[in-house]
Chain A
Amino acid sequence: EPEVTQTPSHQVTQMGQEVILRCVPISNHLYFYWYRQILGQKVEFLVSFYNNEISEKSEIFDDQFSVERPDGSNFTLKIRSTKLEDSAMYFCASSLTGQDGYTFGSGTRLTVV
């Protein structure tokens, strides 16, 4: 079964450092998303991406965050200057139509120390 792949599975970084989280969506999917889940909290939307541009972003997705699809397969989330409160599980997801239930990757656990 096709899957969304995320790397790394766990990243520890110092406060103020930049991190890049990587995702390979399902190959024929056209819509891509990042969500995050702070331990014990809801899954929260960060950003959606279609046709090589951001289509929607939440209030969490401030200037410290950016996304890119540098080639035909990878989809990345960059956090420029990490804060302690960025510690969370970050999930990438992709969707064929944008209206169906999408497939999540296995997640990257980001720990900011």
Chain B
Amino acid sequence: QKEVEQNSGPLSVPEGAIASLNCTYSDRGSQSFFWYRQYSGKSPELIMFIYSNGDKEDGRFTAQLNKASQYVSLLIRDSQPSDSATYLCAVRVGGSTLGRLYFGRGTQLTVWP
């Protein structure tokens, strides 16, 4: 069973703060890790992906991967009210034919002004 676990939240941070979102996964064969943002009633929107251990930065977003701990996180710096959404962690397992993703339930983030 390929589980992807996230704290459902809600996570509430003030504007300008750092929001930290966490995700763990069960399959050690997992190779690629994705963070999506989903506004209520809308489709998932890709924020960034990471394949290798360590940090990957893209603007205000930093993804961190630790394969030994089976842990991936997303940091959002200088959080804005427009960042308020549900953040979905998704994992692609090695050998998964042509791109199937396993999603967590998502963490709801609220950024208050």
Report if A and B associate in a common complex: yes
For the residues of A in contact with B, the DSSP-based class is: strand
Which of A50, A91, A101 is in CB contact (< 8 Å) with B98?
A: A50
B101 at the A interface (CB under 8 A): yes
B45 at the A interface (CB under 8 A): yes
Q: CA–CA, A33 to B34, complex, Å?
A: 16
Q: Is the CB of A104 within 8 A of B104?
A: no
Once A43-B88, A99-B32 are accepted as A-B contacts, the answer to whether A56 and B46 lie under 8 Å apart by CB is no
Once A55-B98, A106-B43 are accepted as A-B contacts, the answer to whether A101 and B105 lie under 8 Å apart by CB is no
Q: Which of B7-52 contact A (CB under 8 A)?
A: 32, 34, 36, 42-46, 48-49
A-B contact count (CB 8 A): 54
Q: Is the CB of A43 within 8 A of B100?
A: no
Which of B43, B90, B98 is in CB contact (< 8 Å) with A56?
A: B98
Q: CA–CA, A96 to B36, complex, Å?
A: 18
Q: Is the CB of B97 within 8 A of A48?
A: yes
Q: Which residues of B contact A43 (CB under 8 A)?
A: 44, 88, 90, 103
Which of A41, A55, A99 is in CB contact (< 8 Å) with B105?
A: A41
Q: Is the CB of A103 within 8 A of B46?
A: yes
Which of A48, A91, A100, A101 is in CB contact (< 8 Å) with B100?
A: A48
Q: Among the interface residues A31, A41, A42, A58, which one has the most CB atoms of the partner chain B within 10 A?
A: A42
Which of B45, B88, B100 is in CB contact (< 8 Å) with A45?
A: B100
Q: Which residues of B contact A58 (CB under 8 A)?
A: 100
Q: CA–CA, A31 to B45, complex, Å?
A: 17
Which of B36, B42, B92, B104 is in CB contact (< 8 Å) with A106?
A: B42
Q: Which residues of A contact B105 (CB under 8 A)?
A: 41-42
Q: Which residues of A contact B104 (CB under 8 A)?
A: 42
**Which partner residue on chain A sits nearest B6 by CB separation?**
A42
Q: CA–CA, A55 to B96, complex, Å?
A: 10
Q: List 21 A-B contacts (CB under 8 A).
A: A31-B98, A33-B100, A41-B105, A42-B106, A43-B44, A48-B98, A55-B97, A56-B96, A56-B97, A58-B100, A91-B43, A98-B99, A99-B32, A99-B92, A99-B99, A100-B49, A101-B48, A103-B46, A104-B44, A106-B42, A106-B43
